[in-house]
Amino acid sequence: MNKRIVLFASGNGSNVEQICRFFEQDATVTVQAVLTNKATAGVINRVKPFGIEAEVFDKSSFTDGTLLAQVKNSNPDLIVLAGFLWKMGADWVKAFPKKIINIHPALLPNYGGKGMYGEHVHRAVRANGDQETGITIHYVNEQYDEGAVIFQAKVAISPQDEAAAIAEKVHQLEHRHFPEVIAQLLKIKAE
């Protein structure tokens, strides 16, 4: 049976592109929708080569139940937050228990919470003098970055690494592992 995923993104969309590329030749998985809260998000152009039209939504449709009803009607097997910066409300978490996952550019519980995304995380890691960082893929609950951890991967960083170099190392981990973890989760759900 075909598995359906819905992707949410707020920005550039490099992870969404990697996920679409990973599943492009897989007849058992369909990227059902790419949803973004920014009309200028790079993800919109990144998914066009895959024949996907990203849908832009606003805050009211996200919070008033309109978008939730639309996504529910599509009956996804997994909702993937790939650089999506808005907090999923309790209504979303209740509607899709253990079906919403997120990727975070650090080793949670470190550097998580409201406002901790992208460059903010990498600057904090650098300022703290950490010798390693990484990614965390986790289930989404009602709190920022506090859902159960599914997968983590680490990468060494040196004192000379600026935030941009740290970001590049983290992106490499994201691109390598995120699609694979999604595939594994979908396989588990099929069993």
Per-residue pLDDT at 191: 61
Asked if 122 is an active-site residue, the reply is: no
pLDDT in tens, 5-42: 999 999 999 999 999 999 998 999 999 999 999 999 99
Contacts 24+ apart (CB under 8 A), 85-88: 85/10, 85/11, 85/37, 85/117, 86/10, 86/37, 86/59, 86/62, 87/114, 87/144, 88/140, 88/142
Q: How far apart are CA 160 and CA 131, in angstroms?
A: 11
Q: How far apart are CA 100 and CA 8, in angstroms?
A: 10
User: Do residues 153 and 173 touch, judged by C-beta distance below 8 A?
Assistant: yes
Is the whole-model pTM more than 0.85? Answer: yes
Query: Is position 129 within any domain?
Result: no
**How many structural domains are present in the chain?**
1
Beta strands in 73-122 (DSSP E): 78-81, 100-104
Query: Is position 128 within any domain?
Result: no
189 pLDDT exceeds 90? Answer: no
Domain that holds residue 81: 3-107+136-154+175-190
> What is the CA 106 to chain-centroid distance, rounded?
13
Query: Is position 48 within any domain?
Result: yes
Q: How far apart are CA 144 and CA 160, in angstroms?
A: 30
Give me the CATH number covering residue 31.
3.40.50.170
pLDDT in tens, 98-126: 999 999 999 999 999 988 999 999 999 99
- Report residue 82 as tokens: 């790939």
